[in-house]
Amino acid sequence: MSNENKTEEMEDDVLNNIENQDSEQDSSSTESEDLENSEELSLEEQLKEDLSKEKDKFLRLFAEFENYKRRTSKERMDLFKTAGQEVIVSLLPVIDDFDRALKEISKSEDQEMFKGVELISNKFKETLKNKGLQEIEVTQGDAFDAEIHDAITQIPAPNKKLKGKIVDVVEKGFKLGDKIIRHPKVVVGN
């Protein structure tokens, strides 16, 4: 081999080495770029995940607050509806007294007194009705319902049709809104 050939071979080796080093540098730079990208992606993914967690917490908190507002609003409305319940319950015996008085005055011959007391009674009942008081309608022969009626006694039924049904109403029942504040006291046929 001549010197030229050796020189050419050496040049080829040097070129090959340089190319190998360049390719190694390219691959190492690609690897480092991939590492940086993966770190950036994981950082970006982590930030996205944190953001979604915070959004979820916010939405849950917002939903809880809306439920709280709705619940307190409903409680407030119920309180306003039944705010005067104690006062109205304490006035129920007055309604009973008016009914008894009207019954007794109707037996007398003084019709003007009857009309006067009847006017006062009707005005009183109308005022309470405007506040939400409703009388529970119960008549003789209605079916007995333990959830609505309060049976104070049972008597032998005057006829077979009144067996297990209401024979007499001793005291009227009342509702305030949808809530029963006094159950009607009834006598049931046995």
46-55: pLDDT as tens digits: 999 999 999 9
Q: Are 181 and 88 in contact (CB under 8 A)?
A: yes
The stretch 34-42 carries a mean pLDDT of 65
Alpha-carbon radius of gyration of the chain: 46
Same domain, 120 and 91: yes
State the CB neighbour count (10 A cutoff) for residue 110.
11
Judge if 12 and 61 occupy the same domain: yes
The token pair that represents 34 in the structure block? 């991939």
Domain that holds residue 64: 1-81
pLDDT exceeds 70 at position 75: yes
Q: Same domain, yes or no, for 115 and 182?
A: no
In this prediction, residue 164 carries a pLDDT of 85
Is 183 in the same domain as 140? Answer: yes
CA distance 43 to 30: 19
> Quick count: other Cβ atoms within 10 Å of Cβ 152?
12
Q: Among 81, 98, 118, give the residue marking a domain's end.
A: 81
CATH number, domain of 173, equals 2.30.22.10
Same domain for 102 and 164, yes or no, is no
Let me know whether 137 and 181 are in one domain.
Answer: yes
CA–CA gap between residue 50 and residue 64 (Å, rounded): 21
pLDDT of residue 185: 94
- Identify whether residues 30 and 74 lie together within a single domain: yes
Same domain, 52 and 71: yes
Is residue 24 located within the same domain as residue 65? yes
105 with 168, same domain? no
Residues 88 and 109 in one domain: yes
pLDDT at position 179 = 87
pTM of the model: 0.57
Residues 21 and 52 in one domain: yes
The total number of structural domains that make up the chain = 3
